[in-house]
């Protein structure tokens, strides 16, 4: 890439520059970690909706409503996560392809999944989300980004609640 190309890219990026007191390393590292977590959140949202749409069996109504409620909660975090990345001066995901490149949670494209397997898989995915969010929280602590860390604490609590509900719903079924 020549100087002219670098200058053009710098001009494009300058339009997205957001004032922040975080250093460029913090912006780069936290934005990268948050974007990966955001991709995982999109993946978890879509899997939860998939299972909501395809659940069947004697507990259909209970599971269907619970999964819809959980999907709504997960979806509600997506905008907050992306906006937090922008507030600290980063850029965020732009496409389904970008999400696919960053996500670490597995998709489930099976034609049929038993309700018990759905609940177990979502419980494990939410457990993985807690682990991911704790890692991002640790990174925020390193850079003294208390605002992002504070948001993450709430998202961890929500994921732990989803794990609890999924666990309890699957007991004795």
Residue 42 is assigned to a structural domain of this protein: yes
Q: Supply the pLDDT for residue 23.
A: 77
The residue segments making up the domain with residue 90 are 24-170
- Give long-range contacts, CB 8 A cutoff, 24+ apart: 81-85: 81/34, 81/37, 81/38, 81/41, 81/151, 81/155, 82/38, 84/34, 84/147, 84/148, 84/151, 85/30, 85/31, 85/34, 85/35, 85/38
Residue 12 is assigned to a structural domain of this protein: no
| Predicted confidence (pLDDT) at residue 90 exceeds the cutoff of 60 | yes
Distance between CA atoms of residues 42 and 44, nearest Å:
5
Residue 17 is assigned to a structural domain of this protein: no
Residue 107 is assigned to a structural domain of this protein: yes
Report phi then psi at 52, rounded to 5.
Answer: -60, -45
How many residues are present in the chain? 173
Q: What is the pTM of this model?
A: 0.89
- Structurally, the chain folds into a number of domains equal to 1
Q: Supply the pLDDT for residue 71.
A: 98
Distance between CA atoms of residues 61 and 19, nearest Å:
48
Task: List, for residues 56-83, the tens digit of each pLDDT value.
Answer: 999 999 999 999 999 999 999 999 999 9
Residue 112 is assigned to a structural domain of this protein: yes
Kindly give the residue spans of alpha helices, DSSP state H, lying in 90-145: 96-102, 115-142
Neighbours of 98 (CB within 10 A): 15
The CATH number given to whatever domain includes residue 129 is: 1.20.1260.10
Residue 126 is assigned to a structural domain of this protein: yes
pLDDT tier for residue 17 given thresholds of 50, 70 and 90? low
Residue 38 is assigned to a structural domain of this protein: yes
Q: What share of the chain is helix, strand, coil (3-state, %, to 5)?
A: 75, 0, 25
Is residue 117 helix, strand or coil? helix
Q: Supply the pLDDT for residue 29.
A: 97
Residue 87 is assigned to a structural domain of this protein: yes
């Amino acid at each position: 890439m020549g100087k002219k190309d670098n200058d053009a890219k710098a001009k494009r990026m300058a339009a997205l520059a957001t004032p922040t007191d975080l250093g460029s390393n913090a912006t780069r590292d936290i934005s990268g970690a948050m974007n990966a977590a955001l991709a995982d959140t999109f993946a978890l949202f879509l899997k939860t909706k998939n299972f909501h749409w395809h659940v069947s069996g004697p507990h259909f109504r209970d599971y269907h409503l619970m999964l819809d409620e959980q999907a709504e909660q997960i979806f509600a975090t997506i905008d907050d996560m992306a906006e937090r990345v922008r507030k600290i001066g980063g850029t965020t995901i732009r496409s389904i392809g970008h999400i696919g490149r960053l996500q670490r949670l597995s998709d489930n494209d099976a034609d049929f999944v038993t309700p018990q397997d759905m609940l177990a898989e979502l419980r494990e995915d939410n457990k993985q989300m807690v682990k991911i969010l704790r890692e991002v929280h640790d990174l925020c602590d390193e850079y003294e980004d208390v605002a992002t860390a504070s948001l993450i604490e709430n998202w961890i609590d929500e994921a732990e609640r989803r794990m609890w509900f999924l666990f309890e719903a699957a007991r004795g079924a």
